[in-house]
Each structure stands twice: as structure tokens, then as C-alpha cells.
Amino acid sequence: MITYVQYNKDNGHDWFYIEPSPDGTKWKGRCWYIYKLAKYEFDVEFEIPVGYPVSPIEIVLPELEDRSVKMYRGGKICLSIHFKPLWAKNAPKFGIAHALSMGLAPWLAAEIPNLIAEGHIKEK
């Protein structure tokens, strides 16, 4: 994960910042998405599940709760159709960077433009 983050920072492609709780089970930070030259930032959080690494991480965007049909209660983004089968196939090799890059990133790319167009997210 550290190599992935550093590579993105070095090349100007970083799009999230996270840090763990002292015990490493809960992570919080910010993620951002650039759309039509505007930057949209969101809180992001997740917990390492008890069944990890077999069980995938559930990513939460609390401030977007109830704004998308591709989201569960509590602001958990929907990863079940596309990402969970990929995780199951590649467990235990996948980790946090995989959850963010192959789970959160595609969700942001698919949902944020729609949420902006529908007026659920305003430019800051």
C-alpha cells in the first residue's frame, strides 16, 4: 500500500488520504474526485472485518448516505456485484490498496458525476 500511495503522490495522481486507529482496525481519511475541473472531497472510513483477508473491506462515505441507490445504510458503498467476486477470487492477496483502487475508485467514477447531475452534490 505504501508504494501505491507514494507512486501516486510522486506523479500527482493521489486521490485519498487515510490513517489507521492505534490498533489498525479502523481507518479514516478523505478521498477526492475531480470532475469538470472541480474537486469534490468526501470523508472515507472503513474497518478491517473479523474475517479479513477472506472478507472484503466495506468502504463508507458517511456524508453521501442516502444520496445514491448504489449505497447501503450507514453510507457503505455497494461493492457486491463487481468487487466482492474479484476479492473472493484473489483472497488473501488483496488488501487495503486493492479495496480502494478497485472498489472505491470505480464507484466514485460511476456515481459522482450522476450525483452532481442530479443535484445531490454541490460544487464547493
Give 31-42 pLDDT, tens digit per residue.
999 999 999 999
Please give the tally of structural domains in the chain: 1
Within-domain flag for 26: yes
Q: Is the pLDDT of residue 4 over 90?
A: no
Write the CATH number for 40: 3.10.110.10
- Looking from the CA of 82 toward its CB, the CA atoms found within 13 Å total 11
Query: How sure is the predictor about 110, in pLDDT bands with cuts at 50, 70 and 90?
Result: very high
Percentages helix, strand, coil for the chain (3-state, rounded to 5) are 35, 25, 40
Full residue range of the structural domain in which residue 100 is found:
2-117
Count how many residues are written for the chain: 124
3-class secondary-structure state, position 101: helix
Q: Is 78 a catalytic residue?
A: yes
Within-domain flag for 94: yes
3-class secondary-structure state, position 113: helix
Within-domain flag for 87: yes
Q: Is the pLDDT of residue 7 over 80?
A: yes
Interacting residues of 21 by C-beta distance below 8 A, sequence separation 6+: 27, 28
Q: Which of the residues 78, 108, 112, 121 is marked catalytic?
A: 78
3-class secondary-structure state, position 76: strand
Within-domain flag for 93: yes
Within-domain flag for 122: no
Q: Is the pLDDT of residue 94 over 80?
A: yes
Within-domain flag for 32: yes
pLDDT of residue 27: 97
pLDDT of residue 59: 95
pLDDT of residue 124: 64
69-73 average pLDDT score: 88
Within-domain flag for 43: yes
Within-domain flag for 123: no
